[in-house]
Amino acid sequence: MAEMWINMGPQHPMTHGLWNMRIKVDGETITDAEPVIGYLHRGWEKMTEDRRYPQIIPMSDRLCYGSSFTWSHVYCMAVEDLMGIEVPEKAKYIRAMSDELQRIGNHLMWLAAIGPDLGNLTIFLYALREREMFLDLFQSLCGARMTYNYCRIGGVRNDAPPNWDRDLVRTLDYFEKRMNEYEELVDRNKVFRMRMEDLAPLSGKDAVNLGITGPTLRGSGVKYDIRQNDPYEIYDELDWHMCTADEGDTYARYRVRMDEMRMSVQIVRDILKKMPKTGPIRVKPPRNAPVGTGMARMEDPRGESLMYVIGDGTDKPYRLSVRSPLFVILSASPVLLRGNKIADLPSILGMIDVCMGETDR
């Protein structure tokens, strides 16, 4: 068969989101690839120049709908850096806890999405079932299922409701049992392993050069996690370790994310132990930001997210710039795809957990 270009997208079951993967195929083998993005571009950064600082929090929730809390968190940290605000101790703990719960929820959505990518619908429904539990937790914490509007400049909006800790511990206990079920379905399944092992290997050196961060980088054996290497909030006081895998193939990326879910459960348990029972959860920020710059980076479920904000003395940011982890990982997707079969394309791209809202902005 002669080589031909195939447009996979914008409407395609492989694209979790909305983009277009142009691939050049020779029979079944991909010889070249070119992602076409921008289908969700809404001028986020331009619009923030016309909003006051607190008004941007719900907008940053909608940057990535899979992990909305981490995005409003990184925005608040950047503005706090600009304004020079020190967040109260308890708010830091609540933020870190919400981060980890969000990480579990987001990884469950990723686990759900790779099921249909590999051709199995069961794991999709199992993961969605458990995701609902974490959405319920968030719902009782801040009233929304997905877009929370919970983080505030200088703290968080409200304290956890009564008996929330009890529900949380129960959910975590239950979830750890369910994790075994997933591993029985996926890790002990020969066909899953056949599809994922030795697929799209990426060496640590290449991954660093391509700017890949997050679980995809740690799957290539590079020990780098912003929570540990550039700690924010209270991560340096917690009892946890970084999850890495050395193989660099798709299965290693899968393993890293699964381990991260378990690790997040451990972190949340540790936070519950160490969190102060009482104390302020929020300080009042000034209305106008000083002239200067602020920058915050954190470990998003997908990688390194960074926000850079320039204040000009008014109540609106002069410039707000966003680094999306997926924006960079997606630019590296041709490297991952070249030489593989068409059938592997959804699993390779599904394994980097595509979320187009933050990529296109």
Partner 1 sequence: MEENVTYTVEQVKSKISEAFPAAVKFESKAKPRRLFMTADKGSLFNLCKFMKDQLGFDHCSLVSGVDRCDRMQVVYHISSFSNNITAEIVVDIPRDNPEIDAITPLWEGANWHERETYDMFGIIFKGHPKLERLLLPADYTFFPMRKDCDTGRH
Partner 2 sequence: MDLSTYPHAIAMSAKEFVDWSTNVMDDIVKATGVKRALDKVSDPLMNWGVRNSMYPLHFGIACCALEMAACSGPRYDNERLGLVFRSSPRQCDVLLVNGWVTKKLRPSLRRLYEEMPEPKWVIAMGECAISGGPWYDSYNVVQGVDTFIPVDVYIPGCPPRPEALIDGFLRLHQKIKKSKIGTFMDD
Partner 3 sequence: MYLDIWQLLTGLVHWLMVNIIGAILGWIGFHGVEHWLGTPGVLNFVTIIVVGLVVFIVGMLVSITLIWQERKELGRLMDRRGTQVGPIGLFQNFADALKVLVKEHIVPEAADSMVYNVAPVIIIGVSLMMMVTIPYSPGFYMSNSQLSVLLTLALFGVVPFAVLLGGWASNNKYTLIGGMRAAAQIIAYEVPLLLSVVGVVILAGSLNFFDIVAWQQSHVWLVLPMIIGAIVFTISMIAELERVPFDLPEAEAELVEGWGTEYGGMRFGLIMMSEYARGFIGSSMITLLFLGGWDMPAFLNFIPDGIWFLAKVFIVFGIIIWIRGALPRVRTDQILNLGWRRLLPLAVVNIAIAIAFKTLGWF
**Residue 265 region by backbone torsions, left for phi larger than 0, else alpha for psi between -120 and 50, else beta:** alpha
Please report, as a single letter, which amino acid is at residue 49.
E
The correct pick among 32, 167, 187, 230 for binding partner 1 (CB under 8 A) is 230
The DSSP code sequence of 42-88 is: --HHHHHTTS-GGGHHHHHHTT-STTHHHHHHHHHHHHHHHHTPPPP
Q: In what order do the strands lie in the sheet with 291-300?
A: 291-300, 303-312, 317-323
- If one asks whether residue 4 binds partner 3 (CB under 8 A), the answer comes out as yes
Q: Which does 185 bind (CB under 5 to 8 A by kind): partner 3, partner 2, partner 1, none?
A: partner 3
In sequence order, what are the residues at sequence separation of 6 or more whose Cβ sits closer than 8 angstroms to the Cβ of residue 122? 115, 185
- Using DSSP's 3-state secondary structure scheme, residue 291 falls into strand
Interface residue with partner 1, options 78, 298, 306, 354 (CB under 8 A): 306
CB of 208 to partner 2, least distance (A): 31
- Residue 291 interacts with partner 3 (CB under 8 A): yes or no: no
Q: Which of 3, 31, 180, 191 binds partner 3 (CB under 8 A)?
A: 191
Of the pair 40, 179, the CB lying nearest partner 1 is at: 40
* H-state helical runs in the chain: 44-48, 56-61, 68-83, 89-118, 122-142, 164-185, 190-196, 204-209, 215-218, 226-229, 250-274, 325-331, 333-337, 345-351, 356-360
330 near partner 1, judged by CB under 8 A = yes
Instruction: Report if residue 361 touches partner 1, rule: CB under 8 A.
Output: yes
Closest approach of Cβ 222 to partner 2, in Å? 30
β pairing state of 151-152 and 155-156:
antiparallel
The residue among 124 and 318 lying less far from partner 1, judged by its C-beta, is: 318
The nearest distance, CB 357 to partner 2, in angstroms, is: 6
Counting contacts by CB under 8 A, is residue 115 touching partner 3?
Answer: yes
Q: Is the peptide bond before 301 cis (omega within 30 degrees of 0)?
A: no
| 116 belongs to the binding site for partner 3 (CB under 8 A) | yes
The answer to the question of residue 223 lying near partner 3 (CB under 8 A) is no
d(CA 168, CA 94): 13
Q: Which of 323, 346, 351, 358 binds partner 1 (CB under 8 A)?
A: 323
Query: 41 vs 341, which CB is nearer to partner 1?
Result: 41
Q: Which range in 32-40, 72-80, 94-102, 121-129 contacts partner 3 by CB under 8 A?
A: 121-129
CB 53 within 8 A of CB 285: yes
Question: Residue for token digits 């990326």?
Answer: 253
Nearer to partner 1, 65 or 308 (CB): 308
- Interatomic CA distance for residues 301 and 299, integer angstroms: 6
Binding partner 1 by CB under 8 A: which of 14, 151, 212, 345? 212
Residue 122 interacts with which of partner 2, partner 3, partner 1, none, CB < 5 to 8 Å by class: partner 3
Residue 147-186 contact track with partner 1, rule CB under 8 A, x = bound: ----------------------------------------
Residues making contact with partner 3 (CB under 8 A): 1, 4, 6, 8, 12-14, 25, 28, 115-122, 124-126, 129, 185, 189, 191-192, 194-195, 341-347
